Amino acid sequence: MAGGGYAKLPDGSVVVALSLTVPVAPAAPGGRVRVLVHAANRQRALTRLRNLGLRAVYLRGNTEPPDPDEITAVLHHPDGLVWRSVPGVDTESWHPIRQLRPYG
């Protein structure tokens, strides 16, 4: 993992952003993706990812927190869990996490 971070929202929930290397990601050139998770706290956000099969995800520090556009994207998604290839192309939209998991 190259980096990640979080932003605490006024209601007490958090948005966690992680840059991950995914071995099989047909829509992600180079296999790098930026994953955003909205949850009640950081630990629950990481648990949501681990429950989806991404077992080795950790958040060490706050080196790459989500920017305001990323926060808006994840808050407006019904699942609160989205991804996009890294480096992000401004014209590429965010994808639901189920499109990232062709192996499961």
Does position 102 have pLDDT exceeding 50, yes or no?
no
Q: Where are the domains of the chain?
A: 3-99
**Mean pLDDT of all residues belonging to the chain:** 83
Strand 32-39: give its sheet, edge to edge: 3-8, 14-21, 32-39, 81-85, 95-96
> What is the per-residue pLDDT across 39-79, written as a single tens digit (0 to 9) for each?
999 999 999 988 988 878 888 889 999 999 999 999 999 98
Distances in whole angstroms, Cα of residue 24 to Cα of each of 13, 67, 99: 31, 26, 11
pLDDT at 103: 43
